[in-house]
Chain A
Amino acid sequence: MMNEKLKLLAICIERGKVDSQTSYPPDMQGQSGASELTRELLDEDVDPNDILAKALMVGMQRIGDKFGNGQAFIPDLLIAAKAMYAAMAHLKPYFDSGAARHKGTIILGTVAGDLHDIGKNLVRMVMEGDGWKVIDLGTNVSAEKFVDSVRSNPGSMVGLSALLTTTMLNMGPITQKVKELNAETKVFVGGAPLSQQFCDKIGADGYFPDPQSLVRHLNTKPN
């Protein structure tokens, strides 16, 4: 019964079924959504870590993979994230109390000179849905701001986003400054004009063309 409910919750996340009131997706109208199912699971004393790992992460991974393969698109990811956050709202108290734990922390930001935030926000959604804590510094973030954040959140990774060929160049100096503070800090980069070649050139630790491939990398590789 519990397993069935977790499976159903994963489907609600993947398909973007937020709660029973929402009319999307049309074939799930009137059914319980991510919000109700999470509440019920908690009321049945299911471990919040299991809800996260066996339902939320599973659903987000499925939609994230489809997005990476070109079988799903930004709207699909946004609606899935809405369902994921609706579920996450019920889990928040357990994270706050320490009963549930994040996998790690990533500091995200769109680099100095660049004001585009959609790509960075998609990464945030997928990472939060996979159980990571995200510190979102917003757009137009300077090297100093990234460094300050790494300093006050020891052990965090850094994720840099850029949409423009002109602003992607700022990723180099930012990576350098972060590494100067602590050479062990992992720096990952992403954005439409980027490539692995560019990532290697600036000395970053990884380039990922879509959010799910970053998450997959982090999950298979111990930090």
Chain B
Amino acid sequence: MIKVLDRIQAGEVLLSDGAMGTELQKRGLPTGACPEEFNVTHAEIVQSIYRDYYRAGSDIIETNTFGGTRSRLAIHGKENEVYRFNRRGAELAREVCPPGRFVAGSMGPTGEILEPLGTLSVAKAYDYFAEQAEALAEGGVDIIYVETMMAIEEAEIAVKAVKEKTGLPVVGSMTFNLTDGGVRTSMGVDAATMVGRLTAVGADLLGANCGTGVEVVLAAIEEMQPLSPLPFLAQPNAGIPQMTDHLIVYPETPQSFEQKIEQVLQFRIGILGGCCGTGPEHIIRLRTLLNKHHPVG
């Protein structure tokens, strides 16, 4: 079977998935509950989301393990479930993954701030990410997305831990804001710093995900491309949410999202998808778009 990285490196744009958290809540996850726990308590719900994204046309779906580090699970009193929640999250995806498609292990931030500004030590952060990466690898993921990172040191440690402990392909993706001085994460990381430091620790793809919409992801990749020969991951949010009567609505409809994301395809994209506010309908649109740009056969 052709591996995920081979296909990307051959110039293919693989389609990833949309949001997980909001889909889980639509299907019964109570507000404030631990999403990763659903991998063991409500496997059928988690699997139904995976399946819907594959059906919508995703080449890669992400495991329900974004908050699966020990530090995030500890908030729910589940710090001793790292192995079980992450491994099961990956296995559930593997079970429904059609031939020729892939499973990506999702790894988000620890939610803590590194020393000296915060209290998290480098060694501890490394252990958190290593533990999660190993469980995801055992569950059978093909690639790992280190995503929604805002601190460069934390992103670096996570990419390094994945590489050293699993040897799997890894995406290093951060969340940017637009400023007068170019894109910056909320911790102040610019595109050049990110490209330099995540490449040095062995990231196979660099990326921009989440944020205020397609525009900021587009700007980030535009800044990164001249600085690196690596392919990019682009997974923007569907804009800034609006409030209707007791309902949160993202402004980017599947149609408008598709139109905006077409601009992203002028860059060296390896993985395309959506983040908060995107669902299977957005992915169906992106599938059509990609087929148009890269006709099959």
Which DSSP category, helix, strand, loop or mixed, fits chain B's interface? loop
A-B interface, 5 closest residue pairs, ranked by CB to CB distance from nearest: A73-B188, A113-B32, A70-B179, A113-B31, A201-B243
Contact B31 A198 (CB under 8 A): no
User: Within 8 Å of chain B (Cβ to Cβ): is A165?
Assistant: yes
User: Within 8 Å of chain A (Cβ to Cβ): is B277?
Assistant: yes
With contacts A113-B31, A114-B32 known, is A70 near B177, CB below 8 A? Answer: yes
A 117-146 contacts with B by CB, 8 A: 118, 140
Most interface-central of B111, B185, B241 (chain A CB within 10 A)? B241
- Which of chain A's residues has its CB closest to B177's CB? A70
B 9-55 contacts with A by CB, 8 A: 21-22, 25, 31-32
Contact A75 B241 (CB under 8 A): no
User: Within 8 Å of chain B (Cβ to Cβ): is A20?
Assistant: no
Total inter-chain residue pairs, C-beta < 8 Å: 78
Contact B22 A73 (CB under 8 A): no
Instruction: State which size class the interface on A falls in.
Output: 20 to 34
Distance of A53 Cα from B71 Cα, bound (Å):
39
User: Within 8 Å of chain B (Cβ to Cβ): is A215?
Assistant: no
Contact B184 A70 (CB under 8 A): yes
Interface residue ranges, B against A (CB under 8 Å): 21-22, 25, 31-32, 75-76, 111, 113, 117-118, 150, 177-181, 184-188, 240-243, 246, 248, 276-277
Interface residue ranges, A against B (CB under 8 Å): 69-76, 78-79, 82, 112-116, 118, 140, 164-170, 172, 193, 195, 197-198, 201-202
With contacts A197-B243, A201-B243 known, is A165 near B184, CB below 8 A? Answer: no
Contact A73 B187 (CB under 8 A): yes
With contacts A71-B181, A197-B242 known, is A166 near B25, CB below 8 A? Answer: yes
Contact B32 A198 (CB under 8 A): no
Most interface-central of A73, A168, A198 (chain B CB within 10 A)? A73
With contacts A70-B180, A73-B184, A115-B75 known, is A165 near B31, CB below 8 A? Answer: no
Contact B187 A195 (CB under 8 A): no
Contact A70 B117 (CB under 8 A): no
- Which of chain A's residues has its CB closest to B250's CB? A165
